[in-house]
Amino acid sequence: MLRISNILVPVDFSTGSRACIEYATAMAETLHSNVTLFHVFERADLMATIVPGADRDADNTTDRALAQRSLEGLRAETPSRAGVSVSVVIVHGSPAEEIVSFSHDKAFDMVVIGTHGRTGFSHVLMGSVAEAVVRRASCAVLTLHIPFPAAGALTIAGTKSEMERRVVSD
């Protein structure tokens, strides 16, 4: 039987991330799962090479502290749901690589990630973290097209066993 116990939600602090958090926590309540909010900050190494006098270590420390406060703030704002534990993790590196690696190393059952659905030149220029995660993750990946409808009162319909049957039979 398929069991979704741990859900990873990559967060970039956009409004799309908030929708993913709401969706994942609503799903976690029904499935009796845990949720981890995960942020990857990219190191300030590039700025040190183009900005004279930039302090790479100080910038990285400041960026990490800011990301930690922001992620803790998101966790605090997340509506409390019965039986859902929400934790936060911050790492540095390349977002797609770190999401795929962390989800595999910590044996997550699902990643819930937003995508803007860019195509053409915009997609080529900006790439897609979501697409890379979908292609390379070793677990299920649920993508939400952003902008996702406001989910303030989002409820995932059905019982846990009904949802598990739907996942297994679909």
Give the pLDDT of the chain (170 residues) as one tens digit per residue.
678 999 999 999 888 889 999 999 999 999 999 999 999 987 655 555 666 656 666 667 888 888 899 999 999 988 788 889 999 999 989 999 999 999 999 999 999 999 876 665 554 444 588 889 999 999 999 999 877 655 444 555 555 455 444 444 44
Confidence at residue 121, expressed as pLDDT on a 0 to 100 scale: 54
Confidence at residue 164, expressed as pLDDT on a 0 to 100 scale: 47
Alpha carbon 141 to chain centroid distance?
A: 10
Confidence at residue 50, expressed as pLDDT on a 0 to 100 scale: 62
**Taking a C-beta distance cutoff of 8 angstroms, is the pair 84, 34 a contact?**
yes
As a whole number of angstroms, the distance between CA 17 and CA 33 comes to 19
* Three-state secondary-structure class, residue 40: strand
Phi, psi of 133, deg, nearest 5: -65, -45
Q: Which helix (H) or strand (E) holds 141?
A: strand 140-145
**Taking a C-beta distance cutoff of 8 angstroms, is the pair 92, 43 a contact?**
yes
Task: For the beta carbon of residue 58, count every other beta carbon within 10 angstroms.
Answer: 10
Candidate CATH numbers 3.40.50.300, 3.50.50.60, 3.90.1150.10, 3.40.50.620; the one for domain 6-169: 3.40.50.620
54-58-62 Cα angle (round to 5): 120
Q: Which helix (H) or strand (E) holds 39?
A: strand 34-41
78-87-34 Cα angle (round to 5): 85
Q: What is the pTM of this model?
A: 0.78
